[in-house]
Amino acid sequence: MFTCKKILAILLAAVSVLSLTACGGGSGSGSDSSSGGGESKTQIAYIVKAKSDAFWTSMEDGAMAYAKEVGVQVDFQAPEKETDVEKQVQFMENAVIKGYDAIILSAADSNALAPAIKKANDANIPVILVNDTMDQGALDAAGAHVETYVGIDQYEAASLAGAYAAANISDGQICYLEGVPGVKALDDRLSGFQDQCPNFTTVASQTARCDRNEGFNVMQNVLSSNPNVNVVWAVNAEMGQGAIQAIEQGGFSGKVQVFDFDAAPDDIKAIKDGTLTGSVAQYPDLQAKAAIQACLDVLDGKSLDAHTKTKAALVTADNVEDYEAGKEIG
Amino acid sequence: MKLKERKIDFSNMSALIVLIVLCIGLSIAEPAFYSIGNLINILQQVTVYAVLALGVNVVIFTGGIDISVGSIVAFTGIVMGKLIVECGLPDPVGILAALLIGAACGTFSGVMIAKFKLQPMIATLAMMSMARGAAYTLADGQTITGYSDGFRWIGVANIPGTRIPVQIVFMLLLYVLFYYVMKYRKFGRFIYSIGGNEEATRLSGIDVDKYKILAYTISGLCAAIASVILVAKLNSAQSTAGLDYEMDAIASCVIGGTSLLGGYGSVWGTLVGAIIMFVIRNGLNLLNVSSNLQKLVLGVVILLAVLADSLRNRKK
Amino acid sequence: MEQEYIVQMEDITVRFPGVLALDKVRFDAKPGEVHVLLGENGAGKSTIMKVLAGVNTNYEGRIIYKGEEITVRSVEEQRARGVSIIFQEMNLLKNLTVAENMFLGRQPVTKTGSVDWKAMNRQARELLDSIDSNISEKAMVSTLSVGQMQMVEIAKALSFKCDIIIMDEPTSALTEKEVAALFRIIDKLKKEGVAIVYISHRLEEIAKVGDRLTVFRDGKYIDTVNVADVTIDQMVAMMVGREMTDYYPKADVEPGETLLEVRDIRRGNVLKGVSFHARAGEITGFYGLMGAGRTELMRVIFGADPCDSGEILVKGKPVQIHSCQKAKSLGLALLTEDRKSQGLILNFDLNQNISLANMDPAMTAFGFSPAKETKNNQRLADSINVKTPSLAQKAKNLSGGNQQKVVICKWLNTDSDIIIFDEPTRGIDVGAKAEIYKIMNSLKERGKAVVMVSSELAECIGVSDRIYVMHEGEMTGVIDDPKDFTEELVVGYATGAKNMNLSKGAEAG
């Protein structure tokens, strides 16, 4: 019992220290720029949806590396849950008050953040969207505007997987694992795949809330009513992994080809094992780099296209080795 | 005079009736529902939530609430994953560590509530945040995969010669154990009594603090057990595991007839409540009904269950 | 022309379910006098004042106010007429300031309709100054002492420009200094022609402050006299003056060894060095007025509340009792004053309630056996004649008397040697009362030490073998021989008119 309590105490202490240092880092640098009369660093608030999976940590690493390279300061912030829109709004408002030079945002909801973006506009702080874009109608309604959206074209990226499936599988019975309702990127991924496969029969299209266990459960349920499913398109990696487990345990291994999005470490391993047919890589580090560059360009007075497209590629068994080695693929 | 001894508990019956009606309705609407394979699937899906609900139920019996269990699932899962996969410790050591940490988290909440008189919602809200934060910190965005077949046996194996997953057997054994303890041991009686009237229980010379702390310890322990099953089933531990699971666990208890005021409810009712939730999800998946509707239907079921609870209280 | 009486209440009758709380009583008040209302607990003093203040409008009788016959319909109406009441229980909201409390619901407002804080605070200050109080009008009520709250209540009552102020036991929570301040205020009010109705148990205080005195007993009017014309002893005689009946059985048992001894228990302001002992085969009675500290003493002994200092000896051995489970293991049992919120789990059946303190008789090697439980509990229930169709009945469905018997069963089940009954017959009908007395006597015959706290004088005298009397946290008297039990003596100790200085003696020793 004693050791548990100790572990717990250490962990809890660690958490509080971390959060303290996080706050301290932010405020400390803030005073730096105000007091240091000379060359002050450009400060960018980088607000994403979560820090809890490999995609976001990879984006953070990319952002930090590039920030160091070009000599800007990037504060990376994320709520606990990908769906915590309210928290993101708070981060936005705080960033406006703190007076960052620019804000990079990966919006958890394609509508709800528009008013927060408007506040940044009013404070003359440029906003750059990354990875997740906003609904243009919502932006217009709030009178908000963003400089550019940096990221892959979700629809195009998803169609890479869809085209691969259409070319390699004839006569598909397909199950779609949808994401969280209301997120445009996930909706685009769904239709991007769907539009490439008009000849496939859709037997199920269900949400699994982007959760691995939910992905397992929904896949299991779908397989019991539709044992002939032979293609699965999961719009994120967690659900895809859950589906793979359900297929294995249900004895459907080899009969179902699973495609998912993100090319997370688990996905790469699954592709090597042959349980996952393909995964769309969206290079979060490249997105981060492009987003920071976009900030600098805007601050230099350049105008940007509405969409700064970044690279996406489909990873399959044929090119997984190259992908891992960091080589160009697709 | 003693005829009324074996009284029919109407609240459990109503949950059971709802379940039966649901099953009949779904069987008619979708033949695939009524297959042994699908029914086993439902039980397998419910296992994690049912085990969670079992612990939360004990806390609710005392008149408390525990909303930290979902986070404890993630925290204990990550710790176990780190110990087994990264430190290479034997599986039983990792599992034991997870169980101990889960229990310790519960004990911590319990002490805050019983000794420092924090409100259960507040104390477990704090624990929810601390455990989740610890899980995020330890995991650092990575999922921890790669467990031995022996470990995964817990989550994926069937009983030899059958199609029944062993995790269902674990769950049922736990339910039998809890049923026995709650009904036939002093512990159970005291837990219900605390929920019925804490002050009267204390003044009857019962160590109320001790039993309250134990209730939260059990809740944390159940969360850790659920975590072991979940990790074994998915072959991975993630810091995002178990998000919002506490709400499903509480909903299971409520649908099963447990009163949030404490002092009232049954172990089997909770299992029925959890199964109802997953029958609904399963049925709507099979029928390929729009996913948004699932939440709506679940909300209505929860509302009806709580309504039955409040009507029952008003009638008496 | 000025009226002689501000108010005259005649033939006032108030009925509560099953009880005649007031039976055609009368009461009046003149301007510029202090009219004391005296009586035992439950005599009906508060009841008639609640009628006058409009709190209880369900009455029969005639009320003439300033020469006009009126019907009392609400508190607001009575307040407008000039009747203010300061309740025994505090009615202040703790999270508001003093000024906010004084002007609750009638805050002065500015032209724009918002609260005029300046005016409100100023008026509050004036009122507080008028009673020479230095409490800040901006202080949170939660930061005040009980005595200070009482002063705020008085200031609040004064803010209503009243003709009659009713003070229900105003000094029970005040320090001596605060009492002196209160008396100065009363004098001032008298000079302004306000009538003061003063309810109190403290006889010496009454002699000091009162002009006239009315006595109620058991909801009946006894007499009205000038305070100057009576002695304290006469007041006591008027208060009790009832005849004893022999419906109290008394088993003749030779007392055995001392099972419980308590020495110099102190707890804040509530218990000021209390000592007593209780013997086997004896019913030890505790009398006192409300707030005398008897319940608090019993709770300390049972480990339900902590105490500051003191010694407890069980069967001659010093013990530390920090919890109820410890007390239970030492053979103590406490039947609480409030059986609904502290004695029973109302939603549980009788079996569960009876087994709560001791489940061992229902346990087998494999755990708990419902059949065994029912058998054991049925035996207990039958032994004291609990009337219920079944032990599966919920406790809340039983009558008060039967509920009390269930609590008794719970403690009989533990086979305790020292059994404390706190107000065992409160709210119980006459028949059930006699049965409870019988149970206490049979426990006495079985060699148990029975301790009974009672606020009913006749019961205390009728049932007890020895009586301890408490007054404001002190043990003011002990009467060892039933032959010496007189109501005058007991009430004398209870009101503080007489004091054997037992607590101070213990302090010196």
C-alpha distance from A320 to closest chain B C-alpha (Å): 19
Q: How far apart are CA B198 and CA B208, in angstroms?
A: 7
Interface test with A, best of B154, B285, B294 (most A CBs within 10 A): B285
Residues of B in contact with A15 (CB under 8 A): 130, 133-134, 137
Q: Measure the CA–CA gap between C436 and C412, rounded to whole angstroms.
A: 13
The β-bridge partners of A45 are A75, A103
Helical spans, DSSP H, in C384-429? 400-412
A71 pLDDT band (50/70/90 cuts)? very high
Who contacts A198 (Cβ-Cβ below 8 Å, separation ≥6)? none
B201 to chain C: which residues are within 8 Å by CB? 345, 356
Give first-to-last CA distance, chain A, whole Å. 54
Assess whether pLDDT exceeds 60 at residue B136. yes
The rounded distance, in Å, linking the Cα atoms of B110 and B286 is 41
Give the model's pLDDT for residue C88: 64
Residue contact B143–A54, C-beta within 8 A? yes
When pLDDT is cut at 50, 70 and 90, the band that residue C129 belongs to is: confident
Q: Does B105 touch chain A (CB under 8 A)?
A: yes
Percent of chain A with pLDDT over 70: 88
Domain coordinates in residue numbering, chain B: 2-315
In chain B, which residues have their Cβ closer than 8 Å to the Cβ of C328? 204-205
Distance (Å, whole) CA B22 – CA B281: 11
Cβ distance C345 to B4 less than 8 Å, yes or no, reads: no
CB A235 within 8 A of CB A204: no
* Nearest CB to B203 within list C304, C366, C390: C304
Q: What is the predicted pLDDT for the residue at A24?
A: 38
Instruction: Say yes or no for a CB contact (<8 Å) between A224 and B32.
Output: yes
**Strand pairing of C83-86 and C68-70?**
unpaired
Instruction: With beta carbons under 8 A apart, name residues in chain B contacting C341.
Output: 197, 199-200
Asked if residue C488 has pLDDT above 60, the reply is yes
Buried b or exposed e, range B251-272, using 16+ CB within 10 angstroms: bbbbbbbbbbebbbbbbbbbbb
Do the Cβ atoms of A221 and B286 come within 8 Å? Answer: yes
Q: What is the pLDDT of residue A25?
A: 38
Task: Kindly indicate the confidence band of residue B297, based on its pLDDT and cuts at 50, 70 and 90.
Answer: confident
The average pLDDT across B244-267 equals 91
CA distance A226 to chain B (A): 8
Å between B180 CA and nearest CA of chain C: 9
Domain boundaries for CATH 3.40.50.2300 within chain A: 2-151+283-299, 154-281+316-324
Contact call for residues C447 and C281 (beta carbons, < 8 A)? yes
In what helix (H) or strand (E) does residue C64 lie, and over which residues does it extend? strand C60-65
Contacts of B74 (CB under 8 A, 6+ apart): B131, B132, B135, B227, B237, B238, B239, B240, B241, B242, B243
Phi, psi of A261 (to 5 degrees): -120, 140
**Percent of all residues in chain A with a pLDDT value above 90, rounded to a whole number:** 62
B64, pLDDT greater than 80: yes
Q: From chain A, pick out residues whose CB is under 8 angstroms from the CB of B230.
A: 213
At A190-222, the pLDDT tens digits run 999 999 999 999 999 998 888 899 999 999 999
The predicted-structure confidence for C68-91, as pLDDT tens digits, reads as follows 999 999 988 998 899 988 876 667
Q: Do B196 and C348 touch (CB under 8 A)?
A: yes
Tokens of C463: 């049932």
Residue A5: pLDDT band (50, 70, 90) is very low
Structure tokens at B181: 């303890």
Question: Among A130-134, B136-140, B163-167, C110-114, which range has the highest average pLDDT?
Answer: B163-167
Predicted local confidence at residue B288, as pLDDT: 84
Site from A178, A202, A221 to mutate, B interface, most B CB atoms within 10 angstroms: A221
Q: What is the CATH number of domain B2-315?
A: 1.10.3470
Bridge partners, residue A315, by sequence: A279
Contacts of B265 in chain C (CB under 8 A): none
Average pLDDT, chain C: 87
The pLDDT value given to residue A30: 37
Query: Tokens for B124?
Result: 């477990």
Contact between chain C and chain A (3 or more Cβ pairs less than 8 Å apart): no
- Sequence-distant (≥ 6) Cβ neighbours of residue C245 within 8 angstroms: C458, C462
> How do beta strands C367-368 and C363-364 pair?
antiparallel
Q: Which residues from chain A sit within 8 angstroms of residue B132, using beta carbons?
A: 80
Out of A11, A53, A216, the one facing B134 most closely (by C-beta) is A11
Chain C interface includes B210 (CB < 8 A): no
User: Pick from C206, C349, C201, C370: which is nearest to C288 by CA?
Assistant: C201
**Is B158 in CB contact (< 8 Å) with chain A?**
no
- Please report which helix (H) or strand (E) contains residue C29, including its range: strand C19-29
Tell me the pLDDT of chain A averaged across its residues: 86
- Across B221-230, C180-189, C498-507, the highest mean pLDDT is recorded for B221-230
Task: Using an 8 Å CB-CB cutoff, list chain B residues near C359.
Answer: 186, 189
Which one of B179, B204, B264, B314 makes the best mutation probe of the C interface by having the most chain C beta carbons within 10 Å? B204
CA angle C405, C410, C411 (to 5 degrees): 100
C151 to chain B, closest Cα gap in Å: 32
Give pTM, 2 decimals. 0.76
The dihedral sign for the CA sequence C322, C325, C329, C334: positive
* Chain B positions in Cβ-Cβ contact with residue A266 (cut-off 8 Å): 143, 145, 236
Per-residue pLDDT, averaged over B206-219, amounts to: 97
Q: Does B156 touch chain A (CB under 8 A)?
A: yes
The DSSP code for C340 is: I
| Residue A316, Ramachandran bin (φ over 0: left; ψ between -120 and 50: alpha; else beta) | beta
Query: Cβ–Cβ of B203/C324 closer than 8 Å?
Result: yes
Of B1, B199, B207, the CB nearest to C323: B207
Q: Contact A246/A208 with Cβ under 8 angstroms? A: no
Beta-carbon contacts of B202 under 8 Å, excluding residues fewer than 6 positions away, are B208, C304, C324
Please enumerate in sequence order all residues whose Cβ is within 8 A of that of C255, keeping only pairs 6 or more positions apart, or say none. C279, C280, C281, C282, C465
Residues of chain C positioned with their CB less than 8 A from the CB of B202: 304, 324
Q: What's chain A look like in SS3?
A: CHHHHHHHHHHHHHHHHHHHHHHHHHHHHHHHHHHCCCCCCCEEEEECCCCCCHHHHHHHHHHHHHHHHHCCEEEEECCCCCCCHHHHHHHHHHHHHHCCCEEEECCCCCCCCHHHHHHHHHCCCCEEEECCCCCHHHHHHHCCCCCEEEECCHHHHHHHHHHHHHHHCCCCEEEEEECCCCCHHHHHHHHHHHCCCCCCEEEEEEECCCCHHHHHHHHHHHHHHCCCCCEEEECCHHHHHHHHHHHHHCCCCCCCEEEEECCCHHHHHHHHHCCCCEEEECCHHHHHHHHHHHHHHHHCCCCCCCEEECCCEEEECCCHHHHHCCCCCC
- CATH class, domain A154-281+316-324, is alpha beta
How far B60 CA sits from the closest chain C CA (Å)? 16
> Which chain B residues touch A18 with a CB distance below 8 Å?
137
Chain A: closest CA distance from residue B118 (Å)? 19
List Cβ neighbours of B262 (8 Å cut-off, separation of 6 or more).
Answer: B60, B61, B62, B63, B64, B194, B195, B196
Q: Which helix (H) or strand (E) holds C450?
A: strand C449-454
pLDDT in tens, C184-220: 889 988 998 899 999 887 777 888 899 999 999 888 8
CATH code for the part of the protein at A2-151+283-299: 3.40.50.2300
**Residue C25 β-bridge partners:** C12
Residues 6+ apart with CB under 8 A from C392: B4, B5, B7, C349, C350, C351
Task: Tell if the CB–CB gap between B104 and A4 is shorter than 8 Å.
Answer: yes
Beta-carbon contacts below 8 Å between A and B: 125
C325/B205 Cβ within 8 A: yes
Q: Is the pLDDT of residue C127 over 90?
A: no
pLDDT at C143: 84
Q: Give B33's DSSP letter.
A: G
pLDDT at B94: 96
Catalogue the E-assigned strands of chain B. Answer: 144-145, 236-237
- Taking the CA of residue A259 as centre, how many other CA atoms within 13 Å lie in the half-sphere pointing to its CB? 30
Q: Are strands B236-237 and B144-145 parallel, antiparallel or unpaired?
A: antiparallel
User: Lowest mean pLDDT: which of A35-39, C108-112, C467-471?
Assistant: A35-39
Mean pLDDT throughout C327-343? 92
Q: Is the pLDDT of residue A22 over 50?
A: no
- Give which of C374, C370, C443, C444 is closest to C412, Cα–Cα: C443
Q: Which residue of A has its CA nearest to B126?
A: A12
pLDDT tens sequence across C403-443: 999 999 999 999 899 999 999 987 776 667 888 999 999 99
Across residues B215-243, what is the average pLDDT?
A: 94
Strands (E) located in C268-386: 271-279, 282-288, 309-314, 317-319, 332-335, 363-364, 367-368
Chain B residues closer than 8 Å to C327 by CB: 205
pLDDT of residue A330: 66
The C-alpha of B204 sits at a distance from chain C's nearest C-alpha, in angstroms, of 5
Closest residue, chain B, to C321 (C-alpha): B205
Closest residue of C to B4, CA-based? Answer: C392
- Residue B101: which of A8, A52, A226 has the nearest Cβ? A8
Q: Phi then psi for C419, rounded to 5 degrees?
A: -120, 120
Those chains having 3 or more beta-carbon pairs within 8 angstroms of chain A are B
pLDDT in tens, A142-197: 999 999 999 999 999 999 999 999 999 988 899 999 988 777 888 999 999 999 99
Give chains near C: 3+ CB pairs under 8 A. B
Residue C276 CA to residue B45 CA, distance in Å, equals 65
What average pLDDT does this structure show over A104-130? 92
Cβ A53–B32 below 8 Å, yes or no?
no
pLDDT tens for each residue of B178-198: 999 999 999 999 999 999 999
Nearest CB neighbour to C367, from listed B2, B180, B193: B180
pLDDT (0 to 100) of residue B24: 93
Q: How far is B203 from chain C (nearest CA, A)?
A: 6
Give the pLDDT band of residue B313 (cuts 50, 70, 90): low
A263 min Cα distance to partner chain B (Å)? 13
CA distance C163 to A67: 81
Nearest to C272 by CA among C42, C12, C499: C499
Cα C382–C387–C389 angle (5° rounding)?
100
A34 — pLDDT class (breaks 50, 70, 90): very low
What is the Cα–Cα distance from C451 to C429, expressed in whole angstroms?
21
Using the predicted structure, report yes or no on whether residue C504 has a pLDDT greater than 60: no
User: Is the confidence at residue B2, as pLDDT, over 70?
Assistant: no
